[in-house]
Amino acid sequence: MIGYVTLGTNDLARAAAFYDAIAAHFGVGRMMEFGSFIAWGTIGGAPGIAATMPFDGGPATVGNGVMVALEVKSPEEVHAVYDTAMAHGGTCEGAPGPRGEDGFYAGYFRDPDGNKLNAFCMTAPTGPKAGE
């Protein structure tokens, strides 16, 4: 159902460098680019992500409670995406690790504009099985 997610930026060149590095972990590059908008992904593929200067000309601001979750295949990939984010101007919102006992493994970060993202995967549950 989701085609792509768009996040606002006040500095498109800075956002481009950040998302070029993140997109490389997913084996994709820029699929669409205009003067104030860049989208990463594959046309007809999985949902993509875009950075844009706000259409109304106002400043881009962060949505409180809004987060984009990027699914990867392993905890090692969670760490790799998180480390890439940190190396490209991201800030930590929660270091990679298990969250709860249901097998959810994630690392949380913000892009240089303050938009919150995470890289996550599902692993084997570590908690008690139902009925135990």
For each successive 10 residues of the chain (132 residues), what is the average pLDDT? 91 98 97 95 93 94 91 97 98 96 95 96 78 58
Tokens 């109304």 identify what position? 56
pLDDT at 10: 96
pLDDT at 34: 93
Instruction: For 24-81, give the DSSP string.
Output: HTTT-EEEEEETTEEEEE-TTSS-EEEEE--TTSSPP-PPTT-EEEEE-SSHHHHHHH
Looking at CATH, the fold of the domain delimited by 4-54+66-122 is given as 2,3-Dihydroxybiphenyl 1,2-Dioxygenase; domain 1 (3.10.180)
User: What's this model's pTM, rounded to 2 decimal places?
Assistant: 0.88
pLDDT at 3: 86
Q: Distance between CA atoms of 108 and 79, rounded to whole angstroms?
A: 10
Task: Mention every residue, 6+ apart, whose C-beta is less than 8 A from residue 33.
Answer: 39
pLDDT at 132: 58
